[in-house]
Structure 1
Amino acid sequence: MTTPQSQIATHLQTTKSLAVSPTWLNSFLSSSTALQRNIPLSALTQTALFRILASDFRDSLTTNNPSSLLPIDIFDPTVQERRLPGPIPVQVLDIEDIGTSLWSQVEAIERVERGEAIRGREIVRTVNVGGEEGEEGAAGAGETGGAGASNGPHRLILQDAAGTRAVGIELVRVDGVAVNKLPIGAKMVLRNAMVARGMVLLTPECVTVLGGKIEGMDLAWKEGRKARLLERISGTGEGQM
């Protein structure tokens, strides 16, 4: 006889490639009264997925299957090329637009702080001053000609369920991957991804963005982003013309 635990685990594995930790799943079910209230299994599964996407994969996923993990020596630059069959679930620890100057990114943040956004060549006031939507608006509007757009390519720091980290480089634009659109802690799955000299080459064919975020990590990253950019500018001398 199949149990709710096994049904949920099987569904998340087959549809999202997420191998849920039995410990995490048991804790999720015991901490809710869902089973006692006879909530439909489909709704319970969706709630579990939502919680997993907001969790740290190191807590919510199992590490029993090596094929679902990054190689521990993935950073090795002496390995010219290797392929990761996967699927490998990972979470985003950092994202950087390496196609836009550091100064342009600082200016985009400061426009949001002032409650402004770029629409074409015109600066307009935004309603949500200093809010997340305002910064997203500045980035999105910039794609039509304004400065500060997160057009990429992007450099990501990815982490698997075992805690192994890897650098991902957006080789071809991946939908949903952009500063202010992909939160820290967002989840994705890698399939048949190529690794060249220690860097995972990200393309639409090998990346599935699942969404989600880790609230505390995302907030800390946003609050410190301007300071990190300014520190890099002072260290590299960018903008000193």
Structure 2
Amino acid sequence: MSTPQAQIAAHLQNTKSLAVSPTWLNSFVSSSTALQRNIPLSALTQTALFRILASDFRDSLATGNPSSLLPVDIFDPTVQERRLQGPIPVQVLDIEDIGTSLWSQVEAIERVERGEAIRGREIVRTVNVGEDNEEGAAGANETGGASNGPHRLILQDAAGTRAVGIELVRVNGVALNKLPIGAKMVLRNATVARGMVLLTPEYATVLGGKIEGMDQAWKEGRKARLLARIAGTGEGQT
């Protein structure tokens, strides 16, 4: 009879395309069963998935299969086009709405800081501004909806290789303050053109998750990064 580790690994590979590191999985099962014996396998599997989506893939996934990793030379702009067979699990290190001006994004952040939000063309005062309101407003554009995109993402695989992803067609779950830093995606048969991964719903699937510390640091530094870029480009200056 197969071990719980083998059954969990098979389930996550078959349903989520996640090749879990045996070391990580052994540690997880040992610590979980030590805290509570006779845990149902289904519950243990769901907890493992939750922990993996909140982990750094470089710690939780195996790297022995090259087909589950990005090419190490993926940034090479001299390669006109190539196909990533995959599936390749990746985590999001950065997200940018390249369809909205830098200054508009700064203004959206400052409206949140003042406790304001956009409704149509009106600026309205919000009550009890907390994390949920902040996420909704910070991702809003001038029309008051979620960020329209297209979005530019920095992606990282389990071996630490990074790539730029460009959203060609809206991908469900990809939006500012909807897709946290550390969120997990799976790429299947995606095209890489001149060093950039072209993201479409057919080839990119959002699994969810978040790396709490990385996401918090990204949010806290976002306004400063935008202002630095504005200063460098001269955007908004007359």
CA–CA separation in structure 2 for the residues paired with 1:175 and 1:221: 22
CA–CA separation in structure 1 for the residues paired with 2:196 and 2:13: 26
TM-score for both structures, normalised by structure 2: 0.96
Q: Which moved more, 1:74-83 or 1:32-41?
A: 32-41
Please tell me whether the aligned partners of residues 112 and 138 of structure 2 are also in contact (alpha carbons under 8 angstroms): no
Please tell me whether the aligned partners of residues 165 and 196 of structure 2 are also in contact (alpha carbons under 8 angstroms): yes
Cα-Cα RMSD: 1.5
Q: Percent identity?
A: 91
User: Tell me, what secondary structure is at the counterpart of 1:45?
Assistant: helix
Q: Which moved more, 1:25-34 or 1:7-16?
A: 25-34
CA–CA separation in structure 2 for the residues paired with 1:88 and 1:231: 33
Gaps of 5+ in 2: none
Please tell me whether the aligned partners of residues 115 and 125 of structure 1 are also in contact (alpha carbons under 8 angstroms): yes
Please tell me whether the aligned partners of residues 91 and 160 of structure 1 are also in contact (alpha carbons under 8 angstroms): yes
How has the CA–CA distance of structure 1 residues 36 and 175 changed in structure 2, closer, same or farther, with 3 Å as cutoff?
closer
Please tell me whether the aligned partners of residues 180 and 215 of structure 2 are also in contact (alpha carbons under 8 angstroms): yes
Q: Which moved more, 1:226-235 or 1:134-143?
A: 134-143
CA–CA separation in structure 1 for the residues paired with 2:143 and 2:110: 19
Give CA deviations for 1:192-238 in whole Å, capped at 9, x if unaligned. 00000000000000011000000000000000000000000001000
Deviation of the 1:143 alpha carbon: 7.1
Give CA deviations for 1:91-114 in whole Å, capped at 9, x if unaligned. 000000100000100000011111
Deviation of the 1:30 alpha carbon: 1.2
Give CA deviations for 1:126-160 in whole Å, capped at 9, x if unaligned. 2342x3312332256647457xx511000000000
CA–CA separation in structure 2 for the residues paired with 1:85 and 1:226: 37
Paired position in structure 2 for 1:150: 147
Q: How many residues align?
A: 238
CA–CA separation in structure 2 for the residues paired with 1:190 and 1:139: 27
TM-score for both structures, normalised by structure 1: 0.95
Please tell me whether the aligned partners of residues 120 and 141 of structure 1 are also in contact (alpha carbons under 8 angstroms): no
Paired position in structure 1 for 2:95: 95
